[in-house]
Structure 1
């Protein structure tokens, strides 16, 4: 079975004449010749639509990659914070007193030794919240954590000067309501 062109099939069926077929062929040739001479690009709409679709998919993929990278970075920061807290955690000592502090508007207390209470009050130690538990860390470490995220720091007191043992007025406390 030989494959014949559509033009030959139309001629055999008697739907067209040889003259009309030749005119159609020559018209097509002339169009192609003119297009080559004028160097006109034939606009292929399906090709443009495909290129636009590819560009949209690339943009979408880029956005998804940015979101994934942001999530991965967030997880990495969280892991860093947990590692910093775990490696710098300080012991509460033998519980002697209760240290009260505010956490999201609620008053919480932590049983600590007298020395740890003094360090918390003087701003040498800070309180952090990790996995629902409160942990004590040095203030410089808390500052590093705050650079990454403020969500973990519960309390950092302002550093105060320690009273020296040679101070003759160490036994006399200054009243809070004293006005200068």
Structure 2
């Protein structure tokens, strides 16, 4: 099969002088390039840049998908912890009020639960806009995964030594007063 140059010569669209000049120009370019170097065209450079940009976008998308999958897994773990460890509030007669998202919420619990909630032995957690009461240890596990899921968890009172000249040392202040 004849080259394009030979076909153009046969058709009379190019003459021998121009063909010879083109061959010499190609040869000069080849000689001027160092050995092992290949001529890279602009389109190849653009294509390579496009591949690199696409690979970077793909990496970013994969990172986002991994983060979303991790968030879903954490949410599922929290849901499972709450479902398996929530305390029964069906016989709750006293209301326990607390603040969540700058709003006062009310939860019916048993009288013993009110005392334990105020002492930090129980906690209130929120999942899917539902409030549940769980033990303090479970609430700490939930806090490790996501702190915003735990709505109410009071710190346990520290047993401090009374001062020697404290006139009110004999009077204990109750921390479960209902106003």
* TM-score bucket (shorter structure): 0.7 to 0.9
Which position in structure 1 is the counterpart of 2:139? 142
Alignment of 1:50 onto 2:50: no
Alignment of 1:70 onto 2:67: yes
**Cα distance in 2 between the residues matched to 1:94 and 1:145:** 25
Helix, strand or coil: the match of 1:151?
Answer: helix
**Cα distance in 1 between the residues matched to 2:23 and 2:133:** 91
Which position in structure 2 is the counterpart of 1:88? 85
**Cα distance in 1 between the residues matched to 2:11 and 2:101:** 91
Q: Give the TM-score normalised by the residue count of structure 1.
A: 0.75
Residues 124, 153 of structure 2: 8 Å contact kept: yes
Q: Which runs of 4+ in 1 moved over 4 A?
A: 2-5
Alignment of 1:10 onto 2:9: yes
**Cα distance in 2 between the residues matched to 1:107 and 1:81:** 24
Which residue, 126, 129, 132 being the options, matches 2:126? 129
How many residue pairs were aligned? 163
Which position in structure 2 is the counterpart of 1:168? none
Q: Give the TM-score normalised by the residue count of structure 2.
A: 0.75
**Cα distance in 2 between the residues matched to 1:107 and 1:142:** 21
The one-character-per-residue Cα deviations of 1:149-177 (angstroms, maximum 9, x if unpaired) are: 12211111122489xxxxxxxxx76478x
Q: Identify unmatched segments of 5+ residues in structure 1.
A: 163-171
Helix, strand or coil: the match of 1:59?
Answer: helix
**Cα distance in 2 between the residues matched to 1:118 and 1:83:** 26
Helix, strand or coil: the match of 1:98?
Answer: strand
**Cα distance in 2 between the residues matched to 1:57 and 1:141:** 44
Q: Identify unmatched segments of 5+ residues in structure 2.
A: 160-170
CA RMSD, 1 decimal: 3.0
